[in-house]
Amino acid sequence: MRGKNIIIGICGGIAAYKTPQLVRLLKKRGANVKVALTEGGARFVSELALATVSEEPVYGRIFPPLGTEKMDFTRHISLGEWADALVIAPATANTLARLSAGLCDDMLSALFITLRPDKPVLIFPAMDGQMFLSPSVQRNIATLAAQGCMVINPESGELASGQCGVGRMPEPEAILAILEECLHSAKASSPLFGKTVVVTAGPTREKIDGVRFISNYSSGKMGFAIARAAAKRGAIVKLIAGPVHLSSPPDVERLDVESTAEMYAAAEGFFDSCDLFIGAAAVSDYRPASPCKGKMKKDDEQIELTLIKNPDILAAFGLQKSPCQLAIGFALETQNGLDNARKKLAEKNLDLIAFNFFDHKTSGFNVDTNILTLIESDGKTTELPLLTKDGAAEKLLDAIEQLCLKNAIKP
Ligand code: C5P
């Protein structure tokens, strides 16, 4: 923590009485600490105590009363620039609502708005259990989380009301440990840190009969490389894999499926909760209409197989995603590549599509290298050179990180 500039935002909850201890712990670790105290916070903990332990003035109002202090009408901006991280503890329902709505009527809410999107904001809601679980508080938390804030759920235990339940602010030592981990981990600087990323990978198999299936040559290598790279950047990765011969990347939750229907069901379970959906699977477009149970006999000279269309998993997500979610797809094309990829980007309502040049040897199925062209929904097109699939995944995630930052500041 040595030399780190930390702003502690303190709101009007009973847990505010613990915050001078948090400031002391941070100071002992060598951090520079400034406090932004809301009006409610000042009812629970004294400005004098916080100024004494932080060795700094405490910031409350956005405008000082005329003539009483040196006038500085841009203090909220300089504080935002100074901070390496903002910790809001305790965060009340009122402040969560004000922050999620973008109000800036005191120093805490104003400096929150001026913070650059890559600076970590850790929010520790603390309040009565019923309040915490209320739809409005949960909606405001979701909005802030979608903007990239790390919202740490309160602990369960005895509450100020005398009841037991969820709502307690973690102890100052625990808050310090979470902040340290966040600042020290290289991952934390990635906009993907803490985001839930669903990746589909590999082929699907569609049963013709009990022993035969329709599939394709996909190895799953591209999707697995993406999952590995996303986990390295601190994302919570759910990898939905068709039948492949690959071992799971570290720190990734893997769900194995076989058919498109199974892949769809597994993916659908994450549609509402994920931040990003990356469809890298080579999904079978069709499946046999009525697969035989046992093994088909070869008595006939010619047979006909009726195929019916499979659901499009990525399109289903793309067309129902919320403004805070991102949908990323792949387009493996053998002709009119870029035009077809752009058409898919629009039809599936994607934020980015990776056009996959297909040449059997260096790019496409079952090889370790790839040539991608990234096309974004605003038309921005980036041609990547021949790269390993791991290298291509890193470049793709760099582009996705930029989209996350743009998305976080979307109106
Ligand atoms: O339309 P096409 O199959 O070429 O689109 C490719 C993209 O859509 C890939 O990202 C693939 O994972 C996804 N897809 C899907 N479900 C399907 C077909 C394709 O998620 N049924």
Q: What is the mean pLDDT of residues 13-19?
A: 96
Final residue of a structural domain among 184, 213, 235: 184
What is the pLDDT averaged over residues 79-83? 91
Which of 286, 330, 338, 339 to mutate for ligand 1's pocket (most ligand atoms within 8 Å of CB)? 330
Share of the chain above pLDDT 90, in %: 70
If asked whether residues 231 and 204 sit together in one domain, one would say: yes
Q: Is the distance from CB of 230 to CB of 200 less than 8 angstroms?
A: no
Residues 217 and 79 in one domain: no
pTM of the full structure: 0.63
Same domain, 95 and 238: no
Same domain, 398 and 262: yes
Among residues 125, 152, 184, the one where a domain terminates is 184
Q: How far is the CA of 363 from the centre of ligand 1 (A)?
A: 18
pLDDT of 383-408, one tens digit each?
999 999 999 999 999 999 999 888 76
376 lines ligand 1 (CB under 6 A): no
342 and 382 together in one domain: yes
Check whether residue 245 and residue 142 sit in a common domain.
no
Amino acid found at 83: A
Is the bond into 90 cis (omega within 30 degrees of 0)?
A: yes
Which CATH number belongs to the domain containing residue 363 in this structure?
3.40.50.10300
pLDDT at 11: 98
Does residue 246 sit within a domain?
A: yes
Where would I find the beta strands (DSSP E) of 150-219? 150-151, 155-158, 164-168, 196-201, 206-207, 213-214
Pocket probe for ligand 1: among 276, 313, 340, 351, the residue whose CB has the most ligand atoms within 8 Å is 313
Taking the C-alpha atoms of residue 311 and residue 291, their distance in angstroms, rounded to an integer, is 17
What atom of ligand 1 comes closest to residue 285's alpha carbon? 21
Chain centroid offset of residue 52 CA: 38
Ligand 1 pocket mutation, candidates 270, 314, 335, 374, criterion most atoms within 8 A of CB: 314
Place of tokens 């720190």: 251
CA dihedral over 363, 366, 369, 375, signed as positive or negative: positive
Q: Which amino acid is at 169?
A: M
> Taking 60 as the threshold, does the pLDDT of residue 186 lie above it?
no
Ligand 1 center to 233 CA (angstroms): 25
Query: Does ligand 1 have an atom closer than 6 angstroms to the CB of 266?
Result: no
Q: Are residues 177 and 192 in the same domain?
A: no
Same domain? For 191 and 180 the reply is no
Q: Which residue minimizes the CA distance to atom 4 of ligand 1?
A: 331
Task: Answer yes or no: is 294 within a domain.
Answer: no
Closest-CA residue, ligand 1 atom 21, reads 312
State the pLDDT at residue 410.
47
- More confident site: 11 or 272: 11
pLDDT at 194: 81
Residues 264 and 331 in one domain: yes
Position 193 confidence tier, pLDDT thresholds 50, 70, 90: confident
**In this structure, is residue 178 part of a structural domain?**
yes
Same domain, 193 and 149: no
More confident residue, 63 or 64: 63
The answer to whether residues 248 and 338 belong to one domain is yes
Asked if 233 and 114 sit in the same domain, the reply is no
Within-domain flag for 292: no
pLDDT, average across residues 18-38? 97
Distance 200 CA to ligand 1 centre (A): 10
Domain endpoint, select from 158, 184, 210: 184
Mean local confidence (pLDDT), 51-55 = 97
Q: Which atom of ligand 1 lies closest to the CA of 353?
A: 10
Q: At residue 411, does pLDDT exceed 50?
A: no
- C-alpha to C-alpha distance for 296 and 209, rounded to whole angstroms: 6
Q: Determine the Cα–Cα distance for residues 282 and 314; give it in Å rounded to an integer.
A: 11
Residue 125 lies in a domain: yes
Token pair 């049963």: residue: 207
Q: Would residue 216 show up in a list of annotated catalytic residues for this protein?
A: yes
How many CA atoms does the CB half-sphere of 67 hold within 13 Å?
Answer: 0
CB 281 less than 6 A from any atom of ligand 1: yes
In a domain, 296, yes or no: no
Residue 78: give the domain boundaries.
5-184
- The pLDDT assigned to 67 comes to 61
Helices 172-184, 19-28: axis angle to 10 degrees equals: 40
**Distance, CA of 335 to CA of 321 (rounded, Å):** 29
Q: What is the pLDDT of residue 360?
A: 64
pLDDT greater than 80 at residue 301: yes
Total domains, the chain: 2
What pLDDT does residue 145 have?
A: 85
Residues 6+ apart with CB under 8 A from 109: 95, 98, 99, 103
Does residue 258 lie in a domain region?
Answer: yes
Q: Is residue 248 in a domain?
A: yes
Residue 277: its H or E element:
strand 276-279
CATH number where 116 lies: 3.40.50.1950
